[in-house]
Structure formats: structure tokens, C-alpha cells
């Protein structure tokens, strides 16, 4: 564990850096730290700013299969990985961090699912057509986001526009995949509105050997083996009101409903799932000399999740069960930006309250079998933060401080955890801090690096789940902390070759980990580290052709061991990944042919249930043509886009996700199962934008 004296010195040192950035005198540039994905904006300074951006255009996003956003991120970002759960509702990882070790938000509002086994990861609640851009921030370098241990992913939704605009998008593909939807937007300069709808569904895919999704879990009955993979409806709307030239009010709401989501990774499928996402925000620009931009926002997000065992035959009793798991989070934020000491200063406060409960019910009789699966847990987090952003000659810098007070309590008896402890509530006070620098050696060459200290709280499952006498949470868990350092280099050669290399080391104290000892499955704190790096390069071959390459590797090791586990390897760490691609983009036509390669998964935590996975090679191809809007001799075709693609071109059989992770829907809390990737998947899309 990191000594308190060292912990205090780190925070104090970063506070000194923050003070210098705010009050020293130098030329100022406004910037945000992080990686931005799906962005259409361009940056100055030869696109080499402190923002560390990876860009994916809207055109590229539409060209993908897009059954699941996690798949796109894992394909487009060399340092990203994916946890395959089924045809829908998959999980994304960044540099060895995944699930609750990342923070997910939509329009800066906290987004969490309500399934204890994460059959509904946060990104699964967001529809493609709502997205304007995705901000992916690696590492502990954003104090405005609480609980982002290894990074954060923020999905920014589209705003309505004045006039009349719209888009219709149809996607179709192998195994009965279909997605139909559209958006319409319009209004005056002072009032604009947007409304959208999407319907999507799919049958079960097959892996490269012809195995259906349901075959990865032997407990399906005949009906389950022939069940479709999912069906989903999404509705959303947003309104923008400008009561004055410097004021804006934004109101957004979305509703999603999914049915019969097949999830062979765990013991139950999902009968029904409902998503409610709501936000209101009031922004004032240039209010006074001490307020460049003031924003006040509030939100309410609610997820209703209903797993059931109708399509399972074994183990005995699962087919009779249904779970009612409901989670809601309400929160508010006040943030102000000012120009102070010739620097941009951002400070604010945020607060969120979350309630989560889950009961196991006999789906035939309605009798409650376990009313404390998630024992009505309340979580309350309040935070204060401040960050400064500066340019000092050739040096760009950011620094920030944050303080959180987190309180959690189970309002029902912990009938199984009481064998471990009588505690059912806890308060934690947690400071975070970071500093990040980028120095421009030339206009097209820079070095960058940072130091960050952050944390994340134990989840309701980790602290309070009450599945059985053999599987329950640990209310005494401490928060996980990450003290991380990053270092990198970026350059352009002769305007044709772009190269970026970066590495990181994360020292993790009180890292939350699974423990299986004495016949009991629960969670504990350990110390560990994750280190690694990645490199990307792109070479302009001229005439619209570009060659791209990427490589990423990370390694995780335990510094202390959970009881019953002597394996030094850390779980959920992806092996070496390589990507090579040849792309063409000219005069509205584009095409990409790519090779993705992974080494064998050998550095695994076998004691925690992980197994060796074979390395794999996959080839993908996609192409499309976009008719220019308001140009050409065929005005009816303006705004039309056509796309075609083949994933896993040679129909390989492979798996990308291992078996670490307890299953709260299983009475024994057994480890989840491995689900193979889809075989050859052919897809296409037609979209029309006006």
C-alpha cells in the first residue's frame, strides 16, 4: 500500500504545479487533455497539441458493422480491447483497465448499468445515431470525472440545428442483423429541436467453426438454442433554447427498450431492459470578468434490468428464476471557467446519488427467493475540483486537484456478508491530482508525459452482493488507487509520416480483486502494477492511399496475493496486439483493408479461472462512397452514402476475452464462460442526409 506520507507528498507537489500554472504569466492557449474519437474538428499547431487525439470521422463510424460501440473502439484504437459477451452489450478495455476501472458518461452525466454481471455495460445503452463524438481519455488525467481509475469514455450527443435537417440510416448484415433509424432536426436561431428513433435486431451469429452463440453455454434448452440474439427500440430527443445571445438551455431525454438479449457468458439471459437518460443544462458565456463560461446541470438516469432463466435447463432451478435489478442515479454539477493569471482556470463541484437494488423471484409464482441480491444500496458522492491549462512558450501544460467524499450503505441486512463483517456502511475521503506536460521540440515534433493519482470506489456488487452463502460481497473493501506516470513522443517526417510512441506505468494500491478461499467467493484488496505502451504510424503514399500500423502491449503483475491465489499474473490483461492497414480516401470513395493480430494469451491468472487463449489473425475489409452534399449533377443523390464491409474475411475461429469475473446470476458465483467472436460477417448500409 502506498504510504500516507508519500501519498501526501504527491498531492502537495501536484498542487504546487497547479498553483504555478494558474498564477504565472505567459501566453495562453485553451485546450483539453485526452483522446477524442469521432470528432470532425481540426486542431492548430499541425494537429500536435496536448490533447493526444485519435480521430474517427462520422464517415468511418458509419462504415463499421456497429452492432456494438465497444467493437468499434477495439478496432480503431490499438490500445483498446473488448470483452465479448454476446452479439450485443460488449465491454471495452483500455491498456489493461476495463469494466468499473473505467468511468463511462454521456454528455458528462454518470452512466452505469444495473446488471451485477454487467450484461448491460454502459455503452450498450447508447444508440449510434445519437453520437456526435466520443472522448476517450486514458489514465488519471481528468479531475472533472470522479472514479476514473484507468481512464474515462464520454459520449457526446448531437445537438439540434436551425433550419430543417435529417438523416435516415439503414444497416443490414449476416445472421439476420438489421438496424433502421433516423433523425430529424430543425428550428429557429433561438429554439431548435431534435428527435430520433432506431430499431435493431439480430439472430445468433456463428463463429468461424459454425458454432452458434448459444453453444458456448451448454445449459440452453431447445428454445434457447433457437432464440434470436436481441431486439431493441431507441427513442431520443433534445431541445436547445437561447433566451439571450450569451445564454443557452439544453434539455435532452432518451428511452430504450430491449427484449430477449442472449447472454451465454453468464447463467441468465435478459428478458427485458429499459433505459431512461435525462439531462438539463444552463450555460452562460462571458457573465463577468470572473466568469468566461458558467454551466449548471442536472440529470437523472435509470436502468431497469430483468434477467431470467426461461431458456436454460441447467443448473436445476435457474430456469425458474427471474431477477429484478433497478439502478438510478441523479446528479448535478456547477462549473465555471475564468481567465486567471493569463491561464484558463476551470473549477467546479459535482454531486451524485445512486440507488441500486435487486431481487431474485420465482418467475412462475412471483415468490421472492432472495430480496437482498443487491440489498437496496445507497451511494452518495460529492466532489470539488480545479484545473489549470496553459501554454508557456513551447510548453503546454495542465494540472488539476480533486477531493471526493463517498458514502455507501446497504439498507437491508447482509445475511451472508455478516459471516465476514458486521459493517454495512462506509465513508471515504479521497484526494486526486494530476499534471501533464507537452514540450514542442519543433512545430512538428514533441515529447509529452504526466503524473496522476486517482481512485475508484468499490461497486455495489463488490461490497454488498448477497447471492449465496458461498458468494457475497466484502463491505470492508477499500477504494482502489492508481499512481500513474506516462511518457511519449510524437512527430511528423516530411509531412508524410506520422509517428507516435507512448508508454505508461500504473502502480495500483488496494486494487479490487476476486478471492476464492475456504469455499467462499468474495472480493479483496491487493497491490499490483500494470505497465505497457503502444506505437502508431501512418504514411501518406499519395494519390489517396495511406499505410497505417499500430502495436500495443501491456503486462499486469500482482505485488500481493489474494488468499487462495499464488499466480503472480494480473487478470484481464490483453496480450500483444498488432494492426496493419491500407486505406484509400479520395473524391468521396474510401476503402480499408486491415490485418489484426494477437499473440497467445499466456500471461494469465489461472488461479482466478483464466485459461490460455490461442493467438489469432483476422482480416477485415470495408469500403464506401459518399455523394457530396449540394454538389454534382444529380441533386437527388446529394447526401447519400453507401457502405459495404466484411469482418473476419477468412472466417477464423477465435476468442478475445478470458473467463475472469464472477457471475452474480449463478448461485455458486462461478466464473463466466468464454464466448468466441463472430465468423465471416458481411454487412452494408445506406444513409441519406439532408
| Residues 51-84 as b or e (16 or more Cβ within 10 Å = b) | bbbbbbebbbbbbbbbbbbbbbbbbbbbbbbbbb
Residue 59: per-residue pLDDT: 59
Q: Smallest Cα–Cα separation from 392: which of 682, 19, 26?
A: 26
Residue 30: per-residue pLDDT: 27
How far is the C-alpha of 659 from the C-alpha of 667, rounded, in Å? 17
User: What dihedral do alpha carbons 34, 35, 38, 42 form, nearest 10°?
Assistant: 80
Q: Which DSSP state fits 160? A: P
- Please, are residues 384 and 344 in contact by the beta-carbon 8 Å criterion? no
DSSP string, 481-502: EEEEEEEEEEEEETTTEEEEEE
- Please, are residues 448 and 435 in contact by the beta-carbon 8 Å criterion? no
Place of cell 452518495: 380
Instruction: Categorise residue 564: left if φ over 0, alpha if ψ from -120 to 50, beta otherwise.
Output: left
- Please, are residues 70 and 78 in contact by the beta-carbon 8 Å criterion? no
Residue 40: per-residue pLDDT: 37
Q: Which DSSP state fits 601? A: B
Which of 257-261, 674-678, 686-690 comes out lowest in average pLDDT?
686-690
- For residue 278, give Cα distances in angstroms to 105, 251, 284, 393: 12, 8, 21, 42
C-alpha 631, offset from chain centre: 38
Q: Smallest Cα–Cα separation from 91: which of 215, 101, 522?
A: 101
How far is the C-alpha of 425 from the C-alpha of 597, rounded, in Å? 46
Q: Smallest Cα–Cα separation from 514: which of 561, 575, 454?
A: 561
- For residue 649, give Cα distances in angstroms to 259, 593, 617, 681, 685: 30, 10, 10, 8, 18
**C-alpha grid cell for residue 366?**
412471483
Q: What DSSP element (H or E) covers 345?
A: strand 343-362
Domain ranges of the chain: 4-689
DSSP string, 95-120: TTEEGGGSEEEETTEE-----TT-SS
Place of cell 439502478: 327
How far is the C-alpha of 435 from the C-alpha of 451, rounded, in Å? 5
**C-alpha grid cell for residue 322?**
427471474
At 5, give phi and psi (nearest 5°): -65, -45
Radius of gyration of the chain (CA): 25
Q: What is the CATH number of domain 4-689?
A: 2.40.170.20
Query: How confident is residue 23, by pLDDT bands cut at 50, 70 and 90?
Result: very low
Query: How confident is residue 10, by pLDDT bands cut at 50, 70 and 90?
Result: low
- For residue 232, give Cα distances in angstroms to 158, 178, 438, 501: 21, 11, 44, 40
Residue 66, SS3? coil
Average pLDDT, the chain: 89
Beta strands in 411-519, from DSSP E residues, in sequence order: 425-442, 445-456, 466-468, 471-472, 480-493, 497-517
Cβ-in-10-Å burial (0-12, 13-18, 19+) of 227 comes to: buried
Q: Which DSSP state fits 221? A: -
pLDDT tens-digit readout, 527-554 = 999 999 999 999 999 999 999 999 999 9
- For residue 544, give Cα distances in angstroms to 41, 385, 541: 21, 45, 7
Share of residues in the chain with pLDDT > 90 (%): 79
pLDDT tens-digit readout, 544-593 = 999 999 999 999 999 999 999 999 999 999 999 999 999 999 988 999 99
Q: How many helices (H) and strands (E) does the chain have?
A: 5, 32
C-alpha 404, offset from chain centre: 22
Which of 1-5, 313-317, 345-349, 649-653 comes out lowest in average pLDDT?
1-5
**C-alpha grid cell for residue 619?**
482480416
How far is the C-alpha of 352 from the C-alpha of 379, rounded, in Å? 8
Average pLDDT over residues 396-402: 95
How far is the C-alpha of 185 from the C-alpha of 164, rounded, in Å? 6
pLDDT tens-digit readout, 75-90 = 889 999 999 988 888 9
At 60, give phi and psi (nearest 5°): -65, -40
DSSP string, 228-279: -SEEEEEEEEEEEE-SSTTEEEEEEEEEEEEEEE--TTSS-EEEEEEEEEEE
- Please, are residues 339 and 292 in contact by the beta-carbon 8 Å criterion? yes
How far is the C-alpha of 197 from the C-alpha of 276, rounded, in Å? 14
Which of 43-47, 186-190, 513-517 comes out lowest in average pLDDT?
43-47
How far is the C-alpha of 275 from the C-alpha of 268, rounded, in Å? 19
User: What dihedral do alpha carbons 648, 652, 658, 662 form, nearest 10°?
Assistant: 80
- Please, are residues 343 and 389 in contact by the beta-carbon 8 Å criterion? yes
How far is the C-alpha of 57 from the C-alpha of 55, rounded, in Å? 6
pLDDT tens-digit readout, 25-43 = 333 322 232 333 444 333 3
Total count of residues recorded for the chain: 690
**C-alpha grid cell for residue 545?**
492511399
**C-alpha grid cell for residue 529?**
502494477
Sign, Cα dihedral of 420, 421, 425, 431? negative
With 60 as the cut, is the pLDDT of residue 57 above it? no
Place of cell 464462460: 673
Query: How confident is residue 271, by pLDDT bands cut at 50, 70 and 90?
Result: very high
- Please, are residues 136 and 36 in contact by the beta-carbon 8 Å criterion? yes
Residue 47: per-residue pLDDT: 37
Which of 348-357, 378-387, 442-451, 628-637 comes out lowest in average pLDDT?
628-637
Residue 148: per-residue pLDDT: 95
Q: Which DSSP state fits 529? A: E
With 60 as the cut, is the pLDDT of residue 517 above it? yes
- Please, are residues 377 and 413 in contact by the beta-carbon 8 Å criterion? no
- Please, are residues 480 and 508 in contact by the beta-carbon 8 Å criterion? yes
Q: What pTM was computed for the model?
A: 0.90
Is the N-terminal amide bond of 569 cis, ω within 30° of 0? no
Q: What DSSP element (H or E) covers 462?
A: helix 460-464
How far is the C-alpha of 116 from the C-alpha of 111, rounded, in Å? 15
Enumerate the H helices of 35-137 as residue ranges.
58-63, 69-76
Amino acid at each position: 500500500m502506498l504510504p500516507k506520507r508519500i501519498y501526501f507528498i504527491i498531492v502537495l507537489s501536484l498542487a504546487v504545479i497547479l498553483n504555478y500554472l494558474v498564477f504565472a504569466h505567459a501566453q495562453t492557449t485553451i485546450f483539453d487533455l485526452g483522446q477524442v474519437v469521432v470528432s470532425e474538428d481540426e486542431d492548430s499547431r499541425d494537429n500536435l497539441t496536448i490533447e493526444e487525439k485519435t480521430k474517427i470521422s462520422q464517415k468511418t463510424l458509419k462504415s463499421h458493422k456497429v452492432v456494438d460501440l465497444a467493437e468499434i473502439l477495439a478496432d480503431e484504437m490499438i490500445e483498446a480491447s473488448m470483452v465479448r459477451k454476446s452479439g450485443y452489450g460488449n465491454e471495452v478495455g483500455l491498456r489493461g483497465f476495463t469494466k468499473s476501472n473505467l468511468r463511462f458518461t454521456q454528455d458528462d452525466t454518470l452512466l452505469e448499468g444495473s446488471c451485477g454481471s454487467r450484461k448491460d455495460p454502459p455503452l450498450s445503452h447508447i444508440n449510434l445515431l445519437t453520437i456526435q463524438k466520443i472522448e476517450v481519455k486514458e489514465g488519471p488525467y481528468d479531475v472533472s470525472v470522479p472514479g476514473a481509475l484507468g481512464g474515462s469514455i464520454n459520449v457526446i450527443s448531437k445537438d439540434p440545428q436551425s433550419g430543417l435537417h435529417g438523416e435516415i440510416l439503414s444497416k443490414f448484415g449476416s445472421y439476420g442483423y438489421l438496424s433502421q433509424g433516423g433523425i430529424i432536426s430543425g428550428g429557429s436561431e433561438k429554439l431548435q429541436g431534435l428527435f430520433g428513433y432506431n430499431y435493431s435486431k439480430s439472430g445468433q451469429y456463428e463463429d468461424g467453426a459454425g458454432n452458434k452463440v448459444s453453444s458456448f453455454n451448454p445449459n440452453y434448452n431447445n428454445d434457447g438454442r433457437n432464440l434470436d440474439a436481441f431486439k431493441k427500440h431507441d427513442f431520443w430527443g433534445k431541445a436547445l433554447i437561447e433566451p439571450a445571445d450569451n445564454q443557452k438551455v439544453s434539455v435532452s431525454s432518451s428511452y430504450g427498450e430491449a427484449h430477449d438479449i442472449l447472454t451465454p457468458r453468464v447463467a441468465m439471459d435478459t428478458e427485458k431492459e429499459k433505459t431512461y437518460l435525462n439531462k438539463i443544462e444552463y450555460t452562460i458565456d462571458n457573465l463577468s470578468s470572473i466568469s468566461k463560461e458558467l454551466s449548471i446541470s442536472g440529470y437523472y438516469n435509470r436502468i431497469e434490468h430483468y434477467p431470467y432463466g426461461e431458456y436454460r435447463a441447467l443448473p436445476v432451478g435457474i430456469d425458474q428464476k427471474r431477477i429484478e435489478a433497478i439502478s438510478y442515479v441523479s446528479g448535478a454539477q456547477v462549473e465555471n471557467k475564468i481567465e486567471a493569471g493569463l491561464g484558463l482556470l476551470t473549477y467546479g463541484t459535482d454531486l451524485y446519488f445512486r440507488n441500486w437494488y435487486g431481487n431474485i423471484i420465482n418467475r412462475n409464482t412471483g415468490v421472492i427467493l432472495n430480496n437482498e441480491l443487491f440489498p437496496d444500496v445507497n451511494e452518495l458522492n460529492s466532489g470539488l475540483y480545479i484545473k489549470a491549462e496553459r501554454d508557456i512558450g513551447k510548453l503546454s501544460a495542465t494540472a488539476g486537484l480533486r477531493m471526493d467524499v463517498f458514502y455507501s450503505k446497504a439498507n437491508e441486512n447482509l445475511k451472508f456478508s455478516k459471516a465476514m463483517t458486521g459493517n454495512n456502511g462506509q465513508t471515504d475521503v479521497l484526494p486526486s491530482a494530476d499534471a501533464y506536460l507537452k514540450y514542442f521540440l519543433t512545430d512538428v515534433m514533441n515529447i509529452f508525459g504526466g503524473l496522476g493519482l486517482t481512485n475508484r470506489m468499490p461497486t455495489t456488487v463488490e461490497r454488498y452482493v448477497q447471492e449465496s452463502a458461498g458468494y457475497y460481497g466484502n463491505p470492508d473493501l477499500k477504494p482502489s488507487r492508481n499512481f500513474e506516470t506516462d511518457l511519449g513522443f510524437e512527430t511528423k517526417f516530411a509531412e508524410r509520416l506520422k509517428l507516435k510512441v507512448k508508454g505508461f506505468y500504473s502502480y495500483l494500491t488496494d486494487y479490487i480483486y476476486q478471492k476464492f478461499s475456504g469455499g467462499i467467493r468474495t472480493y479483496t484488496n491487493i497491490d499490483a502494477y500494470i505497465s505497457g505502451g503502444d506505437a502508431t504510424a501512418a504514411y501518406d503514399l499519395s494519390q489517396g492511399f495511406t499505410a497505417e500500423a499500430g502495436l500495443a502491449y501491456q503486462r499486469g503483475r500482482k505485488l500481493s496475493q489474494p488468499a487462495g491465489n499464488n499466480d503472480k499474473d494480473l487478470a484481464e490483461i490483453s496480450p500483444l496486439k498488432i494492426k496493419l492497414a491500407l486505406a484509400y480516401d479520395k473524391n468521396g470513395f474510401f476503402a480499408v483493408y486491415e490485418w489484426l493480430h494477437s499473440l497467445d494469451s499466456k500471461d494469465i491468472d489461472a488461479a482466478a479461472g483464466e485459461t490460455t487463449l490461442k493467438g489469432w489473425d483476422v482480416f477485415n475489409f470495408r469500403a464506401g462512397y459518399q455523394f457530396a452534399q449540394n454538389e454534382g449533377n444529380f441533386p437527388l443523390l446529394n447526401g447519400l452514402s453507401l457502405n459495404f464491409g466484411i469482418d473476419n474475411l477468412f472466417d477464423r475461429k477465435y476468442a478475445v476475452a478470458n473467463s475472469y469475473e464472477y457471475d452474480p446470476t449463478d448461485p455458486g458465483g462461478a466464473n463466466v464462460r468464454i464466448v468466441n467472436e463472430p465468423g465471416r460477417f458481411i454487412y452494408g448500409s445506406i444513409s441519406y442526409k439532408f
